[in-house]
Structure 1
Amino acid sequence: MNLKVFILALSTVAVGLVELIIGGILPTVANDLNITLSSAGQLITVFALVYAITGPVLLVLTSKIERKKLYLIALLIFFIGNIMTYFSPNFTFMMIARILTAMSTALIVVLSLTIAAKIVAPPAHRAKALGLIYMGISSSLVMGVPLGIVISDIFGWRVIFLGIAILSIGSFILISIFLERVPGGNAIPLSQQIKAVASLKIGSAHLATMFLLAGHYTLYAYFTPFLETELQLNANWISICYLLFGIAAVSGGAFGGVLSDSIGTHKSILTVIILFVVVLFALPFTTFSMIVFIPIMMVWAALSWSLAPPPQQSYLIETDPATSDIQQSFNNSAIQIGISVGSGFGGIVLSQTGTVSHMAWFGGILVIISLLCAIFSLTRRTKGKRKAILKTAAQN
């Protein structure tokens, strides 16, 4: 594999840490900034929302800028955002820092994907290159949260973001040395991108992704307090749970791909969502024993990554091959909006109920909405099929 692709993947590991690592240290951050747990959760909500919205917008606005130069600028802003986070004196200052890092992260990830596709010479190797970039992102999930909990417990939570800033310097140096100049181009206008997802069939498919992730993050964004209150776990055990969760989540992507190949995209989408509902509603009943809880937790983790990457992407490509690139971009935005909606909804539930014990059930309700959206999408005919039916009817 191209060395440059490995460097890009390493960069995505560094930037990918920022979004989710805060979930594991949420109570510590809340205590230090003297805010409520639900308010601290908005640091995840706003990050995901800014990420989702600014990704496509920034890509259009910067389309003519040389890619390597733009990548280095984004890394510099990312570095500044993490230094600001390290020195944050209050919640407002930290929120501004999170917005900066969210915008730069969105641009760095999409640039990593587009540059990787361009610098790999044989087209047959492009899928592997993109897979490596996605692996970098997923690796940050596996390593980030448990590592963050351990570091926070020993050195304090702020050191984590200082470390991420240092990692970004390493990425900056490697990109500067090894990546060649990549010319900009003409990006697809936002109006055309929005038009591509305007159909009921495709739009409802993206809503299915969004509501599933929203249901997931209603609980996952507050997973640390859930583990503390429901299972009375200390920092070491919480770190182990996050590590197991991350490993299962990454393996869930492979499971979704195998399931999609075995029974088809339609059946696999419905199967994953239905199982997700069952697991979320069952999860609170398993907290009486770690032996029972951990296997169910790992199933939940695997299912959380079993829909959006493999079967849903395949379904979008099958539905409208001409706009498949745009659909992948919006599918990624749907994931981020789902994270934002879920963590925000979870914060509301927590502030209203004052307990995390039933948050899984509230998340399950959102996943039921995801199921309804998926059923609606799957039962709509594609434009091509509809035209073919009308043409046949006219001929007869």
Structure 2
Amino acid sequence: MSKTKHSLHSSAGTPPGDTGPSYASASGKKRTFPLSLLCLTIGAFAIGMTEFIIMGLLPNVAEDLNVSIPQAGQLITGYALGVAVGAPILTVFTHRIPQKKLLVLLMCIFIIGNALSVIAPTYGLLISARILTAFAHGTFLGVGSILATKLVTPDRRAGAVSVVLAGLTIANIIGVPFGTFIGQQLGWRSSFGAITLLGIISLIGIIRFIPVIPQGPPANLGQQFRNLIRPQVLLVLLIGAMGCGSLFTVFTYITPMLVDISGFAEQSVTWILVLFGFGVTLGNMVGGRLADWKLMPSLIVNFAILAVLLAVLTLTLHNPILAVTTIFFWGVAAFGIMPGLQVRIMNMTREAPLLATTSSHSAFNLGNAAGAYIGGFAITHTGLISVPLYAAVIAGLGLLGLLWSLILHDRRASSDGADAGQSIVAR
């Protein structure tokens, strides 16, 4: 007991903005992921449902609110822009709030936004509610990822991040299909009602189970911003955007590719996407474990496999069995990179990670939007079959970015070692 008290007391003296020691290491006993992580996973699950469920309900929303399908589609664009812009803005205004209190505030914003979506009488109010909800998205996942790393031992940080992000992937397997079914049977508003209830469950869990971990004084905004604009950090954000861009270049148009090229019936695509979702979830968990083992080597190998699989998909799309097999492993590789990238950013901004970590979700969503645009460009100019090749090129550029990041890191390490040697000689 005295050791625990001493450890928690000493954490109060960490430098401004330092992440401090992990809760798990303070207790000295936690080797399995704690229950408190589940509360963050449920929150991420609800966020994943909110982001993607609207895709299956566009016709219902358009008919109910008397708008066109393209207008209803702006509910997706508005949400993505809300995430991209909202994460850094909300972080700037809330960076002094302790992390547990900030999670509670963000989940309250999320609940209010979805509750407004349930009762929204007009299209304008609905898109406003969606943007409000999106503001909580990136900051919740960023803060949740940072807090997750403090709830486990240092050698399990990437694994803890992957557990939180698993909520997003599981939402695609279970939440989105189930929520779409509810919306089609009981009306689209009922889907947002179910998401609101999930948000309330996550909020109660956060309040009840997540401990208050001493952080020390928060880093000032200048320090947060300087960390964000460091070339190495910006490079990793760009690499993350490329990873997501390669994903959405193909994923946005996966249905027409499977129907028109592979020859699947449209109703079969749903089950293929469920299989893809299982691959995504597996990749997220395996990627977290590999990143805890060897961070940069695992990221480099993963990006290389991702680029190869996307190129191979161009060939296997013509064979239904090979197409489905490739799509499953593509899902594994596509999300295997996410935990490692998040931890890489946190490692480079240890003294003030919040703004950079939340901005990563802005970068990821910008990558999503760019990928969808590039996929559309490919279809218009070189045909549907060429879409995976464009995605493979984007993933290849991400791989080159990772290699460049590793070279810069090695150069800096060599320079620091030389400076230290000169200092010793001078003394």
Q: TM-score, normalised by structure 1?
A: 0.77
AA at the equivalent of 2:241: M
Deviation string, structure 1 residues 51-97 (Cα, Å, up to 9, x no partner): 24422432331244466665454334323432444566776554323
Q: What stretches of structure 1 of length at least 5 have no aligned partner?
A: none
Larger Rg: 2
1:379 equivalenced with 2:407 (yes/no): yes
| Contact 2:138/2:359, CA 8 A, preserved across alignment | no
AA at the equivalent of 1:252: G
Alpha-carbon distance in structure 2 between the residues aligned to 1:391 and 1:124 = 27
Alpha-carbon distance in structure 1 between the residues aligned to 2:206 and 2:348 = 37
Give the alignment of 1:102-121 within 5 angstroms: 102-113=134-145
| Match of residue 166, structure 1, among 192, 197, 213 | 197
| Residues 113/368 of structure 1: CA separation in 2 closer, same or farther (3 Å cut) | closer
Deviation string, structure 1 residues 257-314 (Cα, Å, up to 9, x no partner): 565577x54443333223222222332432333211111001110110122313x456
| Contact 1:218/1:345, CA 8 A, preserved across alignment | yes
| Residues 9/319 of structure 1: CA separation in 2 closer, same or farther (3 Å cut) | closer
| Residues 252/2 of structure 1: CA separation in 2 closer, same or farther (3 Å cut) | closer
Aligned pair count?
Answer: 390
1:200 equivalenced with 2:223 (yes/no): no
| Contact 1:44/1:340, CA 8 A, preserved across alignment | no
| Residues 85/237 of structure 1: CA separation in 2 closer, same or farther (3 Å cut) | farther
AA at the equivalent of 2:131: I
What SS is found at the alignment partner of 1:61? Answer: helix
Partner residue in 2 for 1:74: 106
Q: TM-score, normalised by structure 2?
A: 0.73
Deviation string, structure 1 residues 197-247 (Cα, Å, up to 9, x no partner): 434344323212211211211221343444444445456522211221111
What SS is found at the alignment partner of 2:338? Answer: coil
Give the alignment of 1:150-229 within 5 angstroms: 150-151=181-182, 154-155=185-186, 157-173=188-204, 186-229=217-260
Alpha-carbon distance in structure 2 between the residues aligned to 1:217 and 1:383 = 34
| Contact 1:51/1:103, CA 8 A, preserved across alignment | yes
| Contact 1:63/1:186, CA 8 A, preserved across alignment | no
What SS is found at the alignment partner of 2:219? Answer: coil
| Match of residue 337, structure 1, among 366, 369, 391 | 366
Deviation string, structure 1 residues 351-387 (Cα, Å, up to 9, x no partner): x559754332332332233233223222224534223
**What displacement does 1:176 show?**
5.9
| Contact 1:218/1:359, CA 8 A, preserved across alignment | yes
| Contact 1:60/1:187, CA 8 A, preserved across alignment | no
AA at the equivalent of 1:304: A
| Contact 1:51/1:105, CA 8 A, preserved across alignment | yes
Give the alignment of 1:9-28 within 5 angstroms: 9-23=41-55
AA at the equivalent of 1:386: S
User: Aligned residues: percent identity?
Assistant: 26
Q: What stretches of structure 2 of length at least 5 have no aligned partner?
A: 1-32
Partner residue in 2 for 1:292: 322
